[in-house]
Amino acid sequence: MRIITHTCSACGTVIAANELEDNRVMKCPGLDCEEVLRFTDLPEDARNHFLEYKEQYQI
């Protein structure tokens, strides 16, 4: 199963795709980081893959 993550460019915190997709737009969960992260920060092929197999990433 392909695991899709995004790394915040400001603080290095790594966020799994399911978390980004849940929120669509979110403040970076890194400590004292003000960066805004979006599901659309992921490359298009990663987003498409995630949406296609979305049920695998839920529990």
Partner 1 sequence: MKGVLLSGGTGSRLRPITHTGPKQLVPVANKPVIEYAIEDLEAAGITEIGVVLGHKGREEIQELLGDGSKYGVDITYIVQGNPVGLAHAVGCAREFVDDSDFVVYLGDNMLRHGVSDLLESFKTGDYGAGIALQEVSNPEAFGVADVDEQGTVTRLVEKPDDPPSNLALIGMYVFSPTVFDVIDRLEPSWRGELEITDAIQLLLDDGHAIDSHVVTGWWKDTGKPEDILEANRLVLGDKDLKMIGVIEEGAETDGRIELAESAVIEDGAVVRGPVSIAENTTIKSGTYVGPYTSIGANSTLEGIHIENSVVIGGSEITANGRIVDSLLGRNANVESADELLPEGRRLVVGENSQLKL
Contact residues for Zn ion, defined by CB under 5 A: 8, 10-11, 13, 28, 30, 33, 35
**41 near partner 1, rule: CB under 8 A:** no
| Residue 27 and residue 35 in contact, taking contact as beta carbons nearer than 8 Å | yes
46 binds, among partner 1, Zn ion, none (CB under 5 to 8 A by kind): none
Q: Which class for 42: exposed (0-12), middle (13-18), buried (19 or more C-beta within 10 A)? A: buried
2 binds, among partner 1, Zn ion, none (CB under 5 to 8 A by kind): partner 1
* Alpha helices (H) along 1-59: 17-23, 44-52
Using CB under 8 A, which of 9, 22, 24, 51 touches partner 1? 22
